[in-house]
Structure 1
């Protein structure tokens, strides 16, 4: 099924896992704005291929752009009592429970180089993985949060539309608005967290969306580019 997307975006039904299909299309030289979508076993999966014009260190900011776009999309389609929050690392939380994640995929991880392409992936649990909700109390699914009738294709379409709004603002240099929107949705601010192999207090982000993690008297900035998954 072809999605109804804004101009310059093209939908492709996934032939296999959307992430792998998107990587194959990107390597073959597909246009930026290609949206690969599919679902399997109660999970919605999608990926958007971008064609960056700046080094990866800056281009990686597309992750919070897409994350805010997704929150806005799900917030518009879900019942009003459903709260959606975002982890710095791409985690998606619905009513406090981990429900999915966004990720970054690139052909290489050099933050100073302009990548040939950059992909933002989306994985979202539509149905619970288990009939026993107590087996993993930190996880949830849209069905369990009152969104059982949500159309996955409509959600992907809304994600792309809302992301385009923030993509345009980000491209125009409106970082203040993006930072303000993201901070209001961020999960775990001013709490003790573990990011990768490091633990500390999550103070927020700097102007480049690097995580500010305080450990003892020292505060370290962890760049967004460290989240990039290099495609096999």
Structure 2
């Protein structure tokens, strides 16, 4: 493991290159009390991973806004580096889509799952496939990889750096101005908005999100159900 010396992170963030799963590493470091701002990362020939350790000062229900925020930061980063014809969109549950097909995604873990408590730490991480999962990508048209979508010239470490910069910029904007700007940006990138959806066993029309980005599903009887982002948390060790 190195200290990410070859990568340049913005102030307040610092990197650790790892040889194991970056998300798991970040969660272990957070559990042991590392400072917020750690970006654990791993780049292999076929996969890029990154994970950010955060120390929220708001209840978990609101802090979970960091999941879509990190997704917006990723879209902004890849949008700046990829050819202009490459479209990047975001699933509500953290999934990434490149030119309409699933292409990795984000995951999250916190010190506590209590939505009303301020967690000691929150980790948001992503995994992005760089190469097709097999030699016949046409057999999985709903899944793709970065290089299969015309992004072979995108240098993975540069994408990670850009993600860190854009994400930190959005965090600063969110802290200063609230969620309005982030909501507007996210809605323009959201995949499946206004379409039928199924989440946590609930089906309905995906009509939008609440202030904290909880999914709003309207069923066939006209009742709108709220699915909080906290339902996406992976259990902490």
After superposing on structure 2, the runs of 4+ consecutive aligned residues of structure 1 that deviate more than 4 Å are none
1:52 aligned onto 2:53: no
Pairwise mapping of residues 210-229 of structure 1 onto structure 2 (< 5 A)? 210-216=214-220, 217-229=222-234
User: 2:187 corresponds to which residue?
Assistant: 183
User: How far apart are the structure 2 equivalents of 1:201 and 1:63?
Assistant: 22
Q: Deviations over 1:169-227 (max 9, x none)?
A: 11113321111000000000111111121211100111121111011111111111111
Deviation per residue, 1:27-76 (Å, 9 max, x gap):
12111110000034611111000001111111101111111111000000
> Per the alignment, in what secondary structure is the counterpart of residue 230 of structure 1?
coil
TM-score (norm 1): 0.97
Aligned to 2:76: 72
Q: Which residue of 2 aligns with 1:123?
A: 127
What is the root-mean-square deviation of aligned Cα atoms in Å? 1.1
**Partners of 1:18 and 1:133 in 2: how far apart?**
26
Kept after mapping to 2: 8 A contact 1:15/1:21: no
Q: For residues 196 and 128 of structure 1, what CA distance do their matches in structure 2 show? A: 29
Structure 2 length-normalised TM: 0.95
CA displacement at 1:24 relative to structure 2: 1.4
The separation in 2 between residues aligned to 1:213 and 1:101, in whole angstroms, is 22
Check whether the contact 1:34–1:48 (CA below 8 A) recurs between aligned residues: yes
| Match of residue 21, structure 1, among 13, 18, 25 | 25
- Residue 95 (structure 1) aligned with residue 99 (structure 2): yes
Contact kept? 2:92, 2:215, Cα under 8 Å: yes
Q: Do 1:47 and 1:121's aligned partners in 2 also have CA atoms closer than 8 Å?
A: yes
Aligned to 1:84: 88
- Secondary structure in structure 2 of the residue aligned to 1:160: helix
Q: Kindly provide the CA deviation profile for residues 68-106 of structure 1, in whole angstroms up to 9, marking residues without a partner as x.
A: 111000000000000000011111000000001011111
| TM-fit CA distance, 1:131 | 1.0
C-alpha separation between the residues in 1 aligned to 2:103 and 2:49? 12
Pairing 1:158–2:157 present: no
Does structure 1 retain, via aligned residues, the 8 Å contact 2:64–2:212?
A: no
Distance across 1 between alignment mates of 2:160 and 2:68: 17
Partner of 2:66: 62
Say which is worse superposed, 190-199 or 49-58, in terms of deviation: 190-199
Determine which of 32, 35, 39 is the counterpart of 2:36: 32
Contact 1:72 1:162 in 2 (8 A): yes
Aligned to 1:202: 206
| Number of residue-to-residue matches in the alignment | 232
The CA deviation string for residues 154-176 of structure 1, in whole angstroms up to 9 with x for no partner, is 00100010011110111113321
In the TM superposition, residue 134 of structure 1 has moved relative to its aligned partner by 2.3
Query: 1:231: which partner in 2?
Result: 236
CA distance in 1, matches of 2:179, 2:12: 23
